[in-house]
Structure 1
């Protein structure tokens, strides 16, 4: 199996779509299909089953794709070790970040980091914090920057805490909150559980949720346009001075907060590029970005 075959299998397995895989590999669909057919002939197995909405890998195809993924990981490790032996801060840095951090913090952070270390190639993966945590567990990334507390026995650094707040386009009394229209949004389980526990400790009735959206940024825009209030972290709405923002307080009188962590594996610290990135993140004030 040559390197082109490995890239083809990995990309196709990740996308489960011939059109998307061909676009990522910068080849035509017919070229990709031909190469896939040649692989099936070479190993005398069916690799994929074509369906109306994409493809499904056969058990034999899954085994071959997993082998290709392992080969790609080993190749990346070899390149990292070669770069590291030269003593320079160079090579590829793989970072997983939460959606909010990716949108609001990561562009400036990467720009400043690459200004200091121009020979570093950064691969950034974004998604829900829970997804990025799984990628760290699977060694798909070197480090992650995510919200919430996750079980992790290796390296981690607290970057900042932010209050969880009610953001509203109008002034309100806490006693009236269950009657007011609420904008809710898809978030990871840790945030959802924290907010629900606070709510049902304070109120007996369910919130009056009239709009549900996929992203917290969309929720913010709904709030700004006076369609309802939302419960978000403070950094989401800090640049909207016209909103009424009140922090959630626990029954013990404490602020309800959510942390943003930098997690990394101990073995990743053997790489110059990872140590340089961690040191850089810790010396800048990312909360103020």
Structure 2
């Protein structure tokens, strides 16, 4: 197998779909199918089975796909090591970014970093914090910006804290919340558990959720347009001074807060590009971006 075979197997393993994998690799579907058949002929075993929708790997194919993923990781490490042998800060930085940070902080942060280090290329993956944590564990990114505390024995730096608040288009009393329309949104499990725990510590009734959306930014727009209240981190609604915003508190009376961290692995600091980026971020007031 060669580098292209590794990439093909990794793409198939990720997508479980020949059409999607071909698109990802900028190949035609017949070309990709022919390459799979060539590998199957070489090893003398079937590698994939076609399902009604997509494909699945045979045990032999699963073993080969896992080998391909390991080889791609080693290839990337080798390329990064060679690049790092030069003194300049250049190359490709791979960053995982939680959704809110990606929309509200990352563009300005990358702009400032690129102004200082114009030869750096950045590959940015966005998603839920739990997904960004997984990418870092799998060495798919050098650095992840994550909301909340996840199991992590390596390096991390606290960037800022936010109070969690109720944001409403109307003034409200706390005891009226169960009757008021609430806009809810999909979030990671840490935030969901925190919000659910707070609610059940304070109310017997279930919340009156009338709208459920996928993104916190969409949720905010629903609140701004008077469709209900939401419980969000305060940076989400800070620009909207017309909303009624009240922080929620824990059993001790202290405001509940959510932290945003930069997670990374210590050995990656041996790379000029990673060390430069980590040092750069730590000089910024990220919350103010």
Q: Would you call these one fold, judging by a TM-score over 0.5? A: yes
Tell me the CA shift for residue 242 of structure 1.
2.4
Partner of 2:249: helix, strand, or coil?
Answer: coil
- Show the counterpart of 2:139: 139
Normalised by the size of structure 2, how large is the TM-score?
A: 0.96
- Show the counterpart of 1:99: 99
Task: Measure, in 2, the Cα distance between the counterparts of 1:178 and 1:241.
Answer: 24
Tell me the CA shift for residue 279 of structure 1.
0.8
| Structure 2, gaps ≥5 residues long | none
Task: Measure, in 2, the Cα distance between the counterparts of 1:174 and 1:239.
Answer: 23
User: Is the aligned partner of 1:7 residue 2:7?
Assistant: yes
- Show the counterpart of 2:26: 26
Task: Measure, in 2, the Cα distance between the counterparts of 1:142 and 1:233.
Answer: 26
Q: How does 1:120-269 map to 2 (within 5 A)?
A: 120-269=120-269
Moved more, 274-283 or 22-31: 22-31
Task: Measure, in 1, the Cα distance between the counterparts of 2:236 and 2:260.
Answer: 13
Partner of 2:144: helix, strand, or coil?
Answer: strand
Tell me the CA shift for residue 119 of structure 1.
2.0
Tell me the CA shift for residue 143 of structure 1.
1.3
Task: Measure, in 1, the Cα distance between the counterparts of 2:163 and 2:267.
Answer: 33
Task: Measure, in 2, the Cα distance between the counterparts of 1:2 and 1:102.
Answer: 35
Q: How does 1:56-71 map to 2 (within 5 A)?
A: 56-71=56-71
Normalised by the size of structure 1, how large is the TM-score?
A: 0.96
Instruction: Work out whether residues 79 and 91 of structure 1, in 8 Å CA contact, stay in contact via their aligned partners in 2.
Output: no
Superposition CA RMSD, Å: 1.4
Equivalences, count: 289
Tell me the CA shift for residue 251 of structure 1.
3.0
Q: Which segments of structure 1 move beyond 4 Å, counting only runs of 4 or more?
A: none
Task: Measure, in 1, the Cα distance between the counterparts of 2:230 and 2:50.
Answer: 43
Task: Measure, in 1, the Cα distance between the counterparts of 2:219 and 2:80.
Answer: 40
Task: Measure, in 1, the Cα distance between the counterparts of 2:273 and 2:62.
Answer: 32
